[in-house]
């Protein structure tokens, strides 16, 4: 079945540092890829998505590019802020499985001032 693997955390960075959270996937079809963010005490929110190869999703300074050749969807941000501290989940949705979301394990990001 489909699966998502993302780097283990926690990731601890200083404010204004560059962020990369790696995500790779395995899928039989042509999935859509997502990054969700979960702030403390809140539900998951869609951060960005990409629906086909070479698409770049972007939002709030975060970016991720759908790389079919490396089956990856790494999340990046050029300059993190304390307010970015949260748990980040990579996920995929495959039409072959009824568009259900398959999540990675989540990566805790802690940004220090």
Partner 1 sequence: GAVVSQHPSRVICKSGTSVKIECRSLDFQATTMFWYRQFPKQSLMLMATSNEGSKATYEQGVEKDKFLINHASLTLSTLTVTSAHPEDSSFYICSALSLPGVYDNEQFFGPGTRLTVL
Contacts of 19 (CB under 8 A, 6+ apart): 11, 13, 75, 76, 77, 80, 84, 109
Contact call for residue 99 and partner 1 (CB under 8 A): yes
CA-CA distance, 111 to 62, in Å (whole number)?
Answer: 15
List Cβ neighbours of 51 (8 Å cut-off, separation of 6 or more). Answer: 32, 33, 66
Is position 40 an interface residue for partner 1 (rule: CB under 8 A)? no
Q: Which of 14, 103, 109, 112 binds partner 1 (CB under 8 A)?
A: 103
- For the bound state, the minimum distance from the C-beta of residue 81 to partner 1, rounded and expressed in Å, comes to 21
| Binding to partner 1, residues 51-70 (CB under 8 A) | none
Residue 56: name the closest of 43, 46, 66 by CA: 66
- Distance from the Cα of residue 101 to its chain's centroid: 13
Span near partner 1 by CB under 8 A; candidates 11-19, 52-60, 77-85, 98-106: 98-106
**CB 21 to partner 1: min, Å:** 14
Minimum separation from the CB atom of position 42 to partner 1 (A) = 6
Kindly list the residues in this chain that would bind partner 1 in the complex (CB under 8 A).
36, 41-46, 89, 98-106
């Amino acid at each position: 079945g489909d699966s998502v693997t993302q780097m283990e955390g926690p990731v601890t960075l200083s404010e204004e540092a560059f962020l990369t959270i790696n995500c790779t996937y395995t899928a039989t079809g042509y999935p859509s890829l997502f990054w969700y963010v979960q702030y403390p005490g809140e539900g998951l929110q869609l951060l960005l998505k990409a629906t086909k190869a070479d698409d770049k999703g972007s939002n709030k300074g975060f970016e991720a590019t759908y790389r079919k050749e490396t089956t990856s969807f790494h999340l990046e941000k050029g300059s993190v802020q304390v307010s970015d501290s949260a748990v980040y989940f990579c996920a995929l949705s495959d039409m072959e499985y009824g568009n259900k979301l398959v999540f990675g394990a989540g990566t805790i990001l802690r940004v220090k001032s």
